[in-house]
Amino acid sequence: MHIGRCIRNIGRPFLSLEFFPPSDEDQLPGFYATVEKLHALDPLFVSVTSGAGGSRRRNTLAVTSEMARRGLNAMAHLTCVGAEPAAIADFLQDLRKAGVANVLALRGDAPRDGSWAPGMGRFQYAADLVAFVREHDPDMGIGVAAYPGPHPESPSFTADRDHTAQKIRVGADFVVTQLFFDAREYVDLVESLRARGVDAPVVPGILPIQSFDSLRRVLSMCGANIPGNLYLQLEEADRKGGHEAVREAGRNFAVDQIRRLLDYGAPGIHLYTLNKSDLCLQIAGEAGLA
């Protein structure tokens, strides 16, 4: 089903989930067991990431196709990195054959080996990819990403918001945000897009904090900010109770953040699962989304 239309028509707060394909086929049985546990949450849609630097696109296709076969409304991530028009057209056709009608169009992170960089090839930015998908398959559902705080490479908030608005204008249907930890950033993002005449749904992406190590790793990768008071709370939890206390504090914060966002009027919540079921089930239940 077309995700953009589903979001506009559902009429109540929803939950959606993000997964990443296992790198080893031996991990697939455990991965799909996790998927089935979270299927019980009745997500409006699920998304499947692409590998770093645009790698493992076939893995993304295989996992997305299997999720569609299992009755989930699945969406494949699609990046500009190393992408050529013929390959993208084939990928879209393969998705359609598998019953998948949605993609999340992203610029993607440049590979460390320097084989691709922004400005290279036919698809330089996500807006280029959106325009191509919309022209090639007019009824494909297209989501795009947005940073509640500006993209690390963006010169300013204004420039970043302009780029997000442009992705909608060339054909995207809805927005899923990068992770963030300050609800006010989401409010500012939505209001700035509305001021630009963009009324596409904006779904906040929430990453449950599971440990200090995972938090530091994610922050270094995506450039998100963490409020000082939250960091101090996590530090105190770590000092008093170690890993489990940090995990509990992270869960409590995620639940509170979700409630704040829904009170503001967010259409739903996109939960970054990290392929883990127990914490996601707890958060969804406590936040009233289960």
**10 Å Cβ neighbour count for 289?**
20
Structure confidence at residue 108 (pLDDT): 77
User: pLDDT over 70 for what percent of the chain?
Assistant: 93
- Residue 185 catalytic? no
For residues 112 and 229, which has the higher predicted lDDT (pLDDT)? Answer: 229
Are the beta carbons of 145 and 179 closer than 8 angstroms?
no
Does 55 have pLDDT greater than 60? Answer: no
Orientation of helix 57-69 relative to helix 28-39, angle to 10°:
40
Owning domain of residue 185:
3-209+266-286
Structure confidence at residue 116 (pLDDT): 55
DSSP line for 105-137: EE--PPPTTSS--TT-SS--SHHHHHHHHHHH-
215 lies in some domain = no
Residue 144 Cα to chain centre, angstroms: 9
Q: How many domains does the chain have?
A: 1
Q: Which of 18, 25, 185, 236 is catalytic?
A: 18
123 lies in some domain = yes
258 lies in some domain = no
Does 120 have pLDDT greater than 70? Answer: no
Residue 7's alpha-carbon distances to 21, 198, 286, in angstroms, are 25, 16, 22
Confidence of residue 117 (pLDDT cuts 50, 70, 90): low
32 lies in some domain = yes
Structure confidence at residue 111 (pLDDT): 59
233 lies in some domain = no
244 lies in some domain = no
249 lies in some domain = no
Q: How far apart are CA 255 and CA 287, in angstroms?
A: 5
User: pLDDT over 90 for what percent of the chain?
Assistant: 76
Q: What is the pTM of this model?
A: 0.93
pLDDT digits (tens, 9 = 90+) for 241-255: 999 999 999 999 999
CATH number of the domain to which 119 belongs: 3.20.20.220
Phi, psi of 176 (to 5 degrees): -120, 130
Segment 32-50 mean pLDDT: 97
Structure confidence at residue 156 (pLDDT): 86
pLDDT digits (tens, 9 = 90+) for 179-190: 999 999 999 999
Structure tokens at 259: 């409630």
Are the beta carbons of 269 and 203 closer than 8 angstroms?
yes
275 lies in some domain = yes
